[in-house]
Structure 1
């Protein structure tokens, strides 16, 4: 960690301290925008593709990494915000509101994903998200890796524990569970019989349908779907290329 970013030189982000100052900073100015970010709001400039393109304060980290302001591009890719001289002098800053642009509301299931990677061996590399540790019969284990947050589901799926591109098998694997009952499991089977359209950062991947794979790592009443068509391979390529410090939105629809 550089001296510039050392904890003792970081502002303590206590929102209540900025509420009075927010009145004195001209609305729309960069100082006003920074204060709004400190208060937990999301901000964009008038020529940004909001709400997809905006900036926000990162969540507190468990590894003592200082908070920082991050910005997303129109594809949902996050990176540390580096203001331009124009950003600092601009007075066209706005709060992200529901009126900025309609948010996608047609996702049956959605979350943000920061890709991680793991391997059973040098020939068996995977990219994506694994919530726990998986074991193979030989005693090798994999995971956990990746970060999944802002999980929302309008389906029977209650827990999403795996989404990876398996480089050895050239397939996308998804592992989910419902309410740990036979009835809940059957509903998962029925759901995955339908064609899955997975949209990542505005790009749609038509993965098709899947039966339960019954692979290693599977627990009772869990369902593991596998996909190996051309779109699955394209998604696999994206997962391999996605930088591990950036997050992207994932939107699932079954039809």
Structure 2
């Protein structure tokens, strides 16, 4: 729909556009935008332009998460909700604002009457003399030597608001095999989902701490390819993209963003099911 009523971008109503032999919903209308959201597409409005002429705001669906529990010291518990209360976090629409942060959203009258809705597309500005590199996933068959092995059982867990639907973790895994660390074990594995809203999004972070003493001892995993096998399926995460620590500098945190990281992260969104994770580092 190219025509609209200014300045609110209100859609003119044409009954012919709603006939069953035409469209389910007129393209660009709020009804159309709702359909796209339910199809897991991101949508935006042309009216959402900042003073620089850019549009970095969009909407996205946050799916329902079932069988959650109010935990001690969580936001809900601090607000007075009884610890151990069971609840579901319902499907809702989130808005990514101009600052890159997410907040639950509901439409205004202008939003519902507007016909300037469109798909949101990430703006990427490549340099004039270079082409964007295509990521190549290393194949396990080309890896020569298995250096380290770690096997553990763990159950994915979703986190409460305000990171509900954005952050998942494996906490306190049960170690089955370990020839990776001499004094250390992975006590937290986090998946920062695409809706996390900061530069941490779309990454796996593995946190090691010491079993005895202070400092965790993890070998140098630079240029070592991590492959995690779960239920017979291999996830090639490549080598780590960043190595960090906690405030006391006693822990080792490895960050992965390459290869099958996003696909592996989606597995961690399947909360409540216990998995066995076979982690292998190759060189």
**Both structures adopt the same fold (TM-score exceeding 0.5):** no
Instruction: Name whichever structure is richer in helix by fraction.
Output: 1
Give the TM interval when normalised to the shorter protein: 0.3 to 0.5
Please give the TM-score of this superposition, normalised by the length of structure 1: 0.43
Please give the TM-score of this superposition, normalised by the length of structure 2: 0.39
Larger Rg: 2
